[in-house]
Amino acid sequence: MATPIPTNHASLDARAAAEAAEGRIVVASGGRIARGVTTDSRAVAPGCAFVALRGERHDGHDYVHAAIDAGAVLVIVESGRAPGGPNRADVVEVADTLQAWGAIARAHLRAWRNANRAARVAAITGSAGKTTTKEFCSAILRAVAPCHATRGNLNNRVGVPAVVLQVEPSTRFLVLEMGMSVPGELAALAALAEPDVGAITNIGLAHAGGVGGSIDDVAREKGSLFEGLGRGGVAIANADDPAVVRELRRAPSARVVTFGSAEGSDYRLLARRSLGADGSIVEVRRPAGTSAFRVPLAGHAAAVDFVAALAIAEAAACGPLADDGVVAALGTVSPIAGRMHVRRLRGDVLLIDDTYNASPAAMRAALATLAECGERRRVAILGEMKELGASATEQHALLGRAVADAGVALLVSCGGLADVVARDAERRGVAVVFAEDARDAGLLAVDRVRPGDALLVKASRSVGAERAVEALVSARGEEVP
């Protein structure tokens, strides 16, 4: 489910690349300008620039000659790794090509800002809900002016620069989703984007294993976004999350805007009426007044994400937005595959496909959404939550209570630490089936799901829980919308 690096039309020459990335020109033709910058040798087009990234499994330097053969007129490589042979392309050497990739994107963004004083960048991070918040926010801003936003999972040090390089002169708003899995990643992304608005949806244990394992470790990394806001920036914080509120101290020169259900929130969710799988009607109080909106995505978490998005959008737009524009924008928002995507199978079975990823907070939110699906029998297929570090077993054991509290009648485990969840849920009266993996879980569920059931499938990305979804859809068939 990885998102391919998108193409762009950014202009770059050897001198600009060397200046942005603090590199040196080792081969120069005297002024050739590349159109489009890529890190994928398979996507090289005649006249473009190629940045040779070095990853865990692939080294872009192995494909520099192929990129030049495909028409690259500028290549950026690490020191000492300039290609030999005829000088058919300009070559710039840098200390670190990943840093150079980000620096080139930052230079592109600065040029865009300098040419358009109304340009605004909003950056969104969080342990859960950042993608939904980004989708709501970008939809709202598109009702105001041209807006470019992160697609798919392009939210790391490779993906964010790729999104930034797609910004065109006509773009007014850029909405970036920023993820974090290793120390310093979010600080680097904030330094690249230099956002006008920075929002943290919440702080939980997602990816905690990669940064130390605790909530405090995650908060330290997530809070880097607030630290990256300059004077005149706006910090958007979840007032319901003490860990987020504590990180506001790292944005001393920024204006603070809060959202959530807590009394005193600048953007407060006053009330929500669930429509089950069809979303919610929400009442929101904001500085411009109190309004009601229909949020098209199911669950309380989606409603809170919408409130966050409204706060971010109005901060980026530098003022209140008309309700009718927000309503129209909400009408354009559709479920994202693998993220609380409600699918209707034959036999009146509601399938909530939330297979993209999982963390303790996101698991609880998904189970709460399942509990809102009316009087249907509730079934859950759950897989392991990865990257939780030393707290992994404990966090899985704690989830058993949430399964029982959601009224789940049948839980199918995909194996691994999900079995810990299942054993605790079984002690609480939930019927349990143990499977070997996600595909086996789907096949076992096929014979156990009844007409009229509501079914949640959720796990971390590497579990491959979409295989369970595929088994169910293949066996039952999907209803025509």
Residue 480 confidence class, pLDDT cut points 50, 70, 90:
low
Nearest Cα to Cα of residue 10 among 105, 95, 81, 142: 105
pLDDT, mean of residues 175-201: 95
**Residues 63 and 3: beta-carbon distance below 8 Å:** no
The model's pLDDT over 100-158, given as tens digits with 9 standing for 90+, comes to 999 999 999 999 999 999 999 999 999 889 999 999 999 999 999 999 999 988 999 99
Residue 154 — φ and ψ, nearest 5°?
-80, 65
Q: What is the DSSP string of 113-172?
A: HHH-TT-EEEEEE-SSSHHHHHHHHHHHHHTTS-EEE--TT--STTHHHHHHTT--TT--
The predicted structure's pLDDT at residue 1: 46
Q: 325 pLDDT exceeds 60? A: yes
To which H or E segment does residue 369 belong?
helix 360-370
- CA-based end-to-end distance of the chain: 24
- Quote the CA–CA distance of 419 and 204 in Å, as a whole number: 22
* All domains of the chain in start order, with CATH: 11-95 (3.40.1390.10), 116-330 (3.40.1190.10), 341-476 (3.90.190.20)
Give CA torsion, residues 202, 199, 185, 178, to 10 deg. Answer: 90
To which H or E segment does residue 64 belong?
helix 64-69
- Quote the CA–CA distance of 351 and 404 in Å, as a whole number: 19
The model's pLDDT over 26-61, given as tens digits with 9 standing for 90+, comes to 988 877 899 999 999 999 999 999 999 998 888 999
- Quote the CA–CA distance of 378 and 399 in Å, as a whole number: 16
To which H or E segment does residue 221 belong?
helix 215-222
